[in-house]
Structure 1
Amino acid sequence: MNMKKSLILTVFLLIILLLILWTILSIRSGSNSGLKMKDELSGEAFVKNQLYEKNGLIKTDLTNQSDIYLSESIGLWMEYLVEKSDQAEFDKQVKVLKKYFMNKSTLIPWLIEKNDPAPANALIDDLRIIHALQIAGENWNNKTYLNMAKKMSEELVKVNMLDGVFINHVDIKSQYKGDFLTLSYLVPDTLDYMYKENILQKDQYERNRNILLSAPLSENGFFPQNYYPNEKRYEYDKDINLIDQYYIGYHRALWGGDVSALVEFTKESLDEYDGVLYGRFSNETKQPIVQYEGASVYALAILMCLEIEEHELAKQLYESMKKHQINDESSKYYGGYIDLPSLVTHAFDNLLPLLAERKGIDEGVFE
C-alpha cells in the first residue's frame, strides 16, 4: 500500500514538473498563443546592454539624463515587445510599470527623476501603454493585461478630457488639467479600443477623431500642432518639428486620413537634400532650419508609409535611417543610434527605429 502511494506521489510530482516546464517554454516562445517569438534585432541588443537598468527601467540617454526614466520609453518598449511576441520580457515591463509608475493612480507620470515621479502625465504615453496592454492581453489571453488597459482607459476618460476632448496632461494628484490637445498625442488604436469597450462614448470618439482627421493644413502643407476645445481653434507652430508631423501623419493614416501632402513633402525633401530629412523646417519658407537628423524622424515617416503602403518610399527612408546605426559587431554600442565621439543618443531615437524595423520586416518590406 505504501509503495502504491509512493508511486502515485511520484507520478503526481512528475506531472507538476512537466506542467511547470511547459508553462516556462510557452511563455518564452509565445507558443501558448500560437505566436512564435521573433529574432532579436541589433537595436534591441543596444537597448538591453546600454539603456536597461537592473531594475528594468530604461535610461533616457547615457550622459546627462541617465538617471531620468520616461513613460514614453516604457510604452515604446512594450509596443516593440508585443510586436516581437516576447511575453516574458513584456511581463517584466508590466511589473516595472506597476512598481515605479503606478503607485497612487492609473495615470502614468511622464517622467521619473531620482526616484521622484513627475506630477503630471502625458496623454500619448498613457494611450500607447494601454494599446500595448490591450494587444498583449488579446494575443496571450492574459486577463491581468486587459484589466489594466480597461482601468487606465476609464481613468483617462474620467479626468483627462475637457468638453469631450482629450487634453495633453492632467495633474495626477489635484486632477487640474491643461486646456489644449497636441494632435500627435491621439493614438487611434487606443481610441478604437475604448469606443469598442463602451469606455468612450460615440460623441466623444467622433469628436476626437474628427479633430485629427479634419485638421486644416497650413499654406505650406503642414499640420497644426495643437487644438483648443473651448475655442474650437487649431494652432500652428512657426518652426515645424517633423517628429510631430510624422506622428500626426501616421495616426491619420491609421484612421484612413489623407496624408498626401506630407508624403509629397517627404519625397521632395529626400530628393533635394540627398536622402536626408532634417529635424525641423520653417512653416513659412518650407526650408530646414537645423542641420541635424533624427532616427526617430525616419522611423515615424516609415511607420506612416507602411500604413499607406508607400513601400518604395519606406525602403528609401529605412536606408537613410540605418546609416545612423552602429553596425560594428565588435563595438559595445553595436546596434545603437548613437554618436560615438560624444555618446549622444536618446531612448526615443532607438526605440522608435526598433518598432519601425520590426514592422517593416514583418510586413515583408524590409529584408
Structure 2
Amino acid sequence: MQRKIKLVFIFLLSLLVTGCAKEEVQVNVPSGKSDFSQTTDYGQYSNQENKLRSFIEKKLLIQKGIYTNFKKQSFKEDAARGHELLSESSGMWLEYLVYSHQYKEFREFYKETKKTFDLKTQFSYRYTPSKKKKFPVNATLDDLRIIKALQMYGEATGNKKYKKEAATRFAMLKKNTMSKGKIASFYDTDAKKQSAEGSLAYYDFQVLKYFENTKQGQKMYRQQLAVVQNGYLGDAFPLYASSYNWQSKSYSNADLNTSEAMETLLHLSKINKLQKASFNWLSRQVENNTLYNTYSVNGNIIDRSHSAGSYAIAAMIFANEHDKKMYQKSMKLVWKYQVLNKNSDIYGGIGIEHQNEAYSFNNLTTLLAANY
C-alpha cells in the first residue's frame, strides 16, 4: 500500500514538473508555410561554386563545425579566430545543406551542432576546441539562423519533428532575449542576464514574423520593426544605427561595420521594407566598387578596405529586390576574391592568398549568395 502511495506521489510530482516546464516555455508550432527558401534563378555560378564548396568541405569543415579561419591563430578571449568554431558558421552551412538538398548531411551536421554549441535554451556563439571551451553566451542572430535552417529543412522534407524543434528553439530563445520589441544581442547563461543593447542587424524580420504569429506575437513584431525603422540615419546616408540601448533609450553613434549594416538592409528587404534611398545608395557603391568596410554614422569612410562578405550580402539584397543586373555585378566583385592558384593551400576559397587567410564568414556568405 505504501509503495502504491509512493508511486502515485511520484506520478503526480512528475505531472506537476512537466506542467511547470510547459508553462515556462509555450511552444507554438506555426501551421502555415514560411517563405525562407525562396530564391531566384540568378545564381548561375556552378564552376566557381564547386571550387568554393570543395575548399570549405576539405579545408574548413570538421565534424564539430567549421573553422573560423583556415589559418591557425593563437587564442584570444575577446575574439574568435583561427581554428575556433562559431555557431554563425554552422547555421550558414545548415542553410546551404537545405539549398543543395543534402538532407542526410543536414541531419548529421545538426546533431553535431547541438553537441558543440547547445546551452539547452540557446546555442553558444563560440567553441574553442583546443580548450574544449563552450562560451556561455549566444549571439541572437546566430540562433535565429539555425532556427530558420531547421524550419527550411522541415518544410523541404515534410518532417514535423524538425518544425517542432525550430518552434521550440524559438520559444526558448524568445524567453531570454525578446520582450516588448527588444531583441538583446546576447544572453549569458552563467550570469542569467541579457545585454542592455540590441544590434539592429539581429532583427531577422522574416523569421520573427513567421514565429510570432499570435496576437501578442504580432504586437511584439510591430514593436521590433519600429525599433529598427527608427534607427534610420536619414536619406543623406541611408543606413541604420548599429544598435539600440534599452537602458539609455538611445541609438548608438558607433561606427558601422558594413557587413552588419548590410544584414539590417537584407532583413528589411525580405519583408519589403527596404528604403528606396538605401537601395540607390547600395547600387552606387556596387557600381563604383566603393562598398567599404567601416563608416561613421555621418557617412564618412573610416576603413577603405573591402569585404567579399559585404558584397555577397549586397547580392542577396539585389536578388530579393529582383534586380538581376545589380545581383550579377555584386557577385562579379565577390568572385574577385576567389583564389584560383591551384598551388595555393586555399585554392577555391574566398581569401587573401599571400596571407593564407580564408574566413568562414566570407566563404559561407558567398556560397549562400551564389544560391540566391
Q: TM-score, normalised by structure 2?
A: 0.79
Q: Could you tell me which residue of structure 1 aligns to residue 120 of structure 2?
A: 105
1:233 paired with 2:250, answer: yes
Q: Could you tell me which residue of structure 2 aligns to residue 46 of structure 1?
A: 55
Query: Quick one: which of 63, 88, 109 aligns to 2:72?
Result: 63
Q: Could you tell me which residue of structure 1 aligns to residue 209 of structure 2?
A: 192
1:169 paired with 2:169, answer: no
Q: Once structures 1 and 2 are overlaid, which stretch shifts more, 324-333 or 180-189? A: 324-333
Offset, 1:331: 4.7
The separation in 2 between residues aligned to 1:204 and 1:287, in whole angstroms, is: 34
Q: Could you tell me which residue of structure 1 aligns to residue 10 of structure 2?
A: none
SS of the residue corresponding to residue 128 of structure 1 reads helix
SS of the residue corresponding to residue 58 of structure 1 reads coil
Offset, 1:50: 0.7
Q: Is the 8 A contact 2:65 2:85 kept in 1?
A: yes
1:147 paired with 2:160, answer: no
The separation in 2 between residues aligned to 1:335 and 1:181, in whole angstroms, is: 36
1:269 paired with 2:269, answer: no
Offset, 1:200: 6.5
Offset, 1:156: 1.2
CA displacement, residues 167-196 of structure 1 (integer Å, 9 cap, x when unaligned): 111112342111121100011222122123
Q: Is the 8 A contact 2:346 2:356 kept in 1?
A: no
Offset, 1:307: 0.9
Q: Could you tell me which residue of structure 2 aligns to residue 213 of structure 1?
A: 229
Q: Is the 8 A contact 1:162 1:229 kept in 2?
A: no
Name the CA shift for 1:227/1:347 in 2 (closer, same or farther; >3 Å): same
Q: Is the 8 A contact 2:181 2:222 kept in 1?
A: no
Query: Quick one: which of 268, 277, 294 aligns to 1:252?
Result: 268
1:345 paired with 2:352, answer: no
Query: Quick one: which of 326, 329, 335 aligns to 1:316?
Result: 329
Q: Could you tell me which residue of structure 2 aligns to residue 327 of structure 1?
A: 340
Q: Is the 8 A contact 2:187 2:194 kept in 1?
A: yes
SS of the residue corresponding to residue 251 of structure 1 reads helix
The separation in 1 between residues aligned to 2:340 and 2:179, in whole angstroms, is: 47
The separation in 2 between residues aligned to 1:278 and 1:57, in whole angstroms, is: 29
Offset, 1:330: 6.1
Name the CA shift for 1:155/1:200 in 2 (closer, same or farther; >3 Å): farther
1:129 paired with 2:137, answer: no
Q: Could you tell me which residue of structure 2 aligns to residue 279 of structure 1?
A: 293
Name the CA shift for 1:50/1:300 in 2 (closer, same or farther; >3 Å): same
RMSD (Å) for aligned C-alpha atoms: 2.2
The separation in 1 between residues aligned to 2:274 and 2:164, in whole angstroms, is: 34
Q: Once structures 1 and 2 are overlaid, which stretch shifts more, 337-346 or 225-234? A: 225-234
Q: TM-score, normalised by structure 1?
A: 0.80
The separation in 2 between residues aligned to 1:354 and 1:75, in whole angstroms, is: 13
The separation in 1 between residues aligned to 2:244 and 2:215, in whole angstroms, is: 23
Q: Is the 8 A contact 2:256 2:296 kept in 1?
A: yes
Q: Is the 8 A contact 1:296 1:353 kept in 2?
A: yes
Q: Once structures 1 and 2 are overlaid, which stretch shifts more, 175-184 or 328-337? A: 328-337
Q: Could you tell me which residue of structure 1 aligns to residue 24 of structure 2?
A: none
The separation in 2 between residues aligned to 1:199 and 1:148, in whole angstroms, is: 22
Amino acid at match of 1:342: Q
SS of the residue corresponding to residue 227 of structure 1 reads strand
SS of the residue corresponding to residue 157 of structure 1 reads helix
Q: Could you tell me which residue of structure 2 aligns to residue 31 of structure 1?
A: none
SS of the residue corresponding to residue 47 of structure 1 reads helix
Q: Could you tell me which residue of structure 2 aligns to residue 202 of structure 1?
A: 218
The separation in 1 between residues aligned to 2:264 and 2:144, in whole angstroms, is: 15
Amino acid at match of 1:105: K
Offset, 1:215: 3.1
Amino acid at match of 2:155: E
Give unmatched runs, 5+ long, in structure 1: 1-37, 360-367
SS of the residue corresponding to residue 353 of structure 2 reads coil
Q: Is the 8 A contact 2:245 2:251 kept in 1?
A: yes
Query: Quick one: which of 313, 318, 334 aligns to 1:305?
Result: 318
Identity %: 25
Q: Is the 8 A contact 1:78 1:132 kept in 2?
A: yes
Amino acid at match of 2:152: I
The separation in 1 between residues aligned to 2:229 and 2:297, in whole angstroms, is: 20
Amino acid at match of 1:107: Q
SS of the residue corresponding to residue 188 of structure 2 reads coil
Name the CA shift for 1:213/1:282 in 2 (closer, same or farther; >3 Å): closer
The separation in 2 between residues aligned to 1:281 and 1:178, in whole angstroms, is: 24
SS of the residue corresponding to residue 244 of structure 2 reads strand
